[in-house]
Structure 1
Amino acid sequence: MLTYSQKKYLFAIYKLGQSGNIVKSADVAKIVGVSKASTVTMTQKLCENGYIIKEPYGKISLTETGIKEANSIFMKCIVIREFLHTQIGMDEKTADNDAVSIVANISEKGADKITDYILAR
């Protein structure tokens, strides 16, 4: 099971990679809001656990397992963000940040239940 921090990093790598750009540690650090040194430490852990591939001083890419996990996180964030924005009336930026925090902080089962509930409405 991924930790809160690991989920945030995977989500950041996933979002950065969607635009087709090369994902680098400095870019991930900026999105997550941490130092480059912290990013290096976390990317090493994600590499060891099979979620990403990191070339020395180079690009970061998701493995098949990383893509699956990041996509799951991303889809849950989209559902929750849209609910917070359209149904609760939050501004988009706050809804986006809160959706990521919700998905990253609760269990996978909890996030699944929340998204299932929202989608069933």
Structure 2
Amino acid sequence: MKKYSVLGNKKKVTMEVNSTLLKVIGNNCIIRVTVNQGEIEVVGNDCRVDVIDNYGSVNLVGSGGVVSIGKRWRGDKVSLVGPDCHVVVDGKEKKSASYEAQLSPFSKDLDDVIESIFTFVMR
């Protein structure tokens, strides 16, 4: 499978048919795809993904993102990770299981979490 990677802020990507892996990393990016049969991965804040026909998967990581899909087909997948993300299907906002990464409530620092996981794996 081919892989296309775009890196940078405020990038605009337009594709007719995506049958590959399209990975975009950056803030304030706009991705427009007519037919998605592959995978679209977007990592960044305030990004927008517009897909007319979605047969594949769309993954968005970051805050304030919007995924707009014209028509979803059987077997497609949309996942959002981050606060204030929205999925709009055929002009209507859909509730989606949005996930937000969190630290352990018992630790004050990320190093504490990594240290405890490392010692657990070493046992």
TM-score by structure 2 length? 0.22
Structure richer in helix, relative to its length = 1
**Larger RCO (CA under 8 A, 6+ residues apart):** 1
Structure richer in strand, relative to its length = 2
TM-score by structure 1 length? 0.22
Larger radius of gyration: 2
